[in-house]
Amino acid sequence: RRKSLSTVPLMPLVLEKCTVKVGYNFTREQLDLVAESLDAGQKPLLLFPGPDAISLDDDNNVDAVKSLQDREQLLILIDGTWGEAKRMIMQSPELIKNCQQIQFQSETESIYPISLRKEPEKHCLSTLESCAHALMLLEPSVERATESKMFLEGSMKCMVDKRMSVSESRNREPRFAKDKEKIFKKNKRRHEIK
């Protein structure tokens, strides 16, 4: 699904190994990469907060995080509004069952200005920003993770700047002037018919 402010289309342009699957509910059979990872004896990582999620930046989880950092991981991100993401998780119980949930708790602010996109909390990030942050926490000693984060965030900043310049240049006048009295009469008539 295309969204005007979606950051996911930028990710395959920067990341060498990036696959996008579209849908609202996923089974193991639909996610071939998850099946391959499980068949290889490795549990994929699902970046989504939850009670069983490993916090990548919590000092109490140093051993668990270190074991995740020691090998290449399949990282799964859920893209959508927070409501859509929660619904996708609820409708995909096999995904939760077959993956290790991870999260981070840093108070990083989004690149998005509030005028473009509203998040439920100040610390909520876009999918791209979450991916960049998770890569840095999972691969802290890998130079490519730092480069990926820089390029991901740079491409997003470029998109945001472009979007801001477009919205600032637009005329804020309504495209079509609506006759409020005419609309009121039409709605009143509609209710009378019912």
The overall average pLDDT reported for the chain is: 83
Per-residue model confidence as pLDDT tens digits over 59-97: 888 888 888 888 888 899 999 888 888 999 999 988 888
Residue 1: pLDDT band with limits 50, 70, 90: very low
Tokens (6 digits) for 158: 């470029």
Asked if the model's pLDDT at residue 178 lies above 80, the reply is no
What pLDDT is attached to residue 3? 46
Q: What is the mean pLDDT of residues 39-44?
A: 88
Above 50 in pLDDT, residue 16?
Answer: yes
- 3-class SS letters over the chain: CCCCCCCHHHHHHHCCCCCCCCCCCCCHHHCHHHHHHHHCCCCCEEECCCCCCEECCCHHHHHHHHHHHCCCCCEEECCCCHHHHHHHHHCCHHHHHHCEEEECCCCCCCCCCCCCCCCCCCCCCCHHHHHHHHHHHHCCCCHHHHHHHHHHHHHHHHHHHHHHHHHHHCCCCCCCCCCHHHHHHHHHHHHHHC
Using a cut of 0.85, tell me whether the model's pTM lies above it.
no
Residues 37-42 have a mean pLDDT of: 86
- What Cα–Cα distance (Å) separates residue 30 from each residue in 23, 46, 53? 10, 16, 23
Q: What distance in Å separates the CA atoms of residue 9 and residue 7, rounded to the nearest whole number?
A: 6
pLDDT of residue 171 exceeding 60, the answer is: no
The reported pLDDT for the residue numbered 76 is 92
Q: What is the mean pLDDT of residues 4-23?
A: 86
